[in-house]
Amino acid sequence: MMIKTKSKYTWEGWNSSGNEDWVFSVKHPCELIGVHAKLIDKELKESEKIEYCVYAPRVSSTSTPFGLKSEEASRGICVTDKRFIISENRHIEGMEPKLTSINFEDIRYFNIGNALLLTWFSIHYRDADNPKDMVILFGSTGRHHFEKLIRSYKKYYPEMRIDAYDVESYHASSFIYNIKDNMHRDDLKKLISSDEKCVSTFLCKYLWGVLPKKRWFWGRKEDIPLTNNATVLLTNKSLLIARSGRDDSGGVAIDVMDIPLRKIGNAAVSRERRNEIMFYQLRISFPDNQEDETLDIPLLDKDTNIGTFLLALTMSLNKCTEGMR
């Protein structure tokens, strides 16, 4: 059922400072506060079905431990059956609010995560063949609203054709307990939609970087990898990668990447042995053959040889995503 545009705005005439205390959801963009109500409502088409609307007040932070950066602004977010519509107000005199429309077909992947009281949501997408990131920072109590935005989007992209390629799948409610890292498990299960099934998972190390050669007291030089736990989860809709932040990032920090399978053109894995350590790189390319845009995910072993898991993962991805295109 389509929701018709209302003739009046709930908070019309009330000037928002953008410093409200919490993130909240509304049934229709007309119920958003500040400039966001009119901006999004006027952008909507009558043929669009509204799935979920969220208001996020501004926070003082402008960056995350995972390299995502954003301007200090309040935002309204509306996901429909076709796109994300995002309004932004910097609350600076002389600077006009702006609106961004991101069609589903232009989305590459999502990031969502938190570090202490800071939480973030990011959409990586292409605009006129240029890669862009829409990054929204907000307080930690609003994370569940943004998880629902991702699940709402997932209603409109297809499942992987697992039956045609002899790939087994499992109900998420039971399979999710195969994830060994408890914090990763909690974050991943909240991104799985109601009809989504799990295929495989494994625990490894995410490589944040390598320290320059360090001289030990007996004169030997070694590269010191900077790592932390990572969990890879393949479902019939997404490739999800949860990674913990560097140990020096200040407290617990976790980011989850959610890559829709239909956005994956090819997956390949390479490896290199250095100082008795096997380094792996999972490279994701996108189906429109944009050579300048690949997603590289550096990984290391944890307790077990992940080479076999990565090989099986890339084979499953390449076979099954081929059937989706």
Q: What is the 3-state secondary structure (H, E, C) of 178-231?
A: HCCCHHHHHHHHCCCCCCCEEEEEEEEEEEEEEEEEEECCCCCEEEEEEEEEEE
pLDDT at 62 over 90: yes
* pLDDT at 214 (0 to 100): 58
The token pair at 133 is 């990131």
* pLDDT at 198 (0 to 100): 93
Q: Could you say which architecture CATH assigns to the domain 24-154?
A: Roll (2.30)
Average of per-residue pLDDT values in the chain: 87
24-154 and 163-322 share one CATH topology? yes
Q: 39, 41, 32: which is closest to 14 by C-alpha? A: 32
* pLDDT at 192 (0 to 100): 96
User: Residue 108 and residue 126: Cα distance in Å, rounded?
Assistant: 8
* pLDDT at 2 (0 to 100): 43
Q: How far is CA 213 from the centre of its chain?
A: 34
pLDDT at 12 over 80: no
Express each pLDDT in 118-175 by its tens digit: 999 999 999 988 899 999 999 988 999 999 999 999 999 877 666 666 678 889 999 9
Contact indicator for 40, 29 with CB cutoff of 8 Å? yes
- Can you spell out the DSSP letters for 253-274? EEEEEEEEGGG-SEEEEEEEEE
pLDDT at 287 over 70: yes
* pLDDT at 114 (0 to 100): 95
* pLDDT at 37 (0 to 100): 94
Its pTM stands at 0.90
pLDDT at 213 over 90: no
Fold of 163-322: PH-domain like (2.30.29)
What contacts 163, CB < 8 A, 6 or more positions away?
Answer: none
* pLDDT at 318 (0 to 100): 78
Pairing of strands 221-235, 197-215: antiparallel
User: Residue 274 and residue 17: Cα distance in Å, rounded?
Assistant: 54
Q: Is 250 helix (H, G, I), strand (E, B) or coil?
A: coil
6, 29, 49, 56, 200 from 75: Cα distances, Å: 20, 12, 20, 5, 36
User: Residue 26 and residue 99: Cα distance in Å, rounded?
Assistant: 18
3-state percent breakdown (helix, strand, coil) of the chain, nearest 5: 20, 45, 35
* pLDDT at 169 (0 to 100): 82
* pLDDT at 101 (0 to 100): 98
User: Residue 116 and residue 146: Cα distance in Å, rounded?
Assistant: 17
Segment 37-49 shows an average pLDDT of 95
- Cross-strand partners of 209: 226
The residue extents of the domains of the chain are 24-154, 163-322
- What stretch of H or E contains 39? helix 36-43
* pLDDT at 291 (0 to 100): 57
Who wins on pLDDT, 256 or 164? 256
Per DSSP, 148 falls in state H
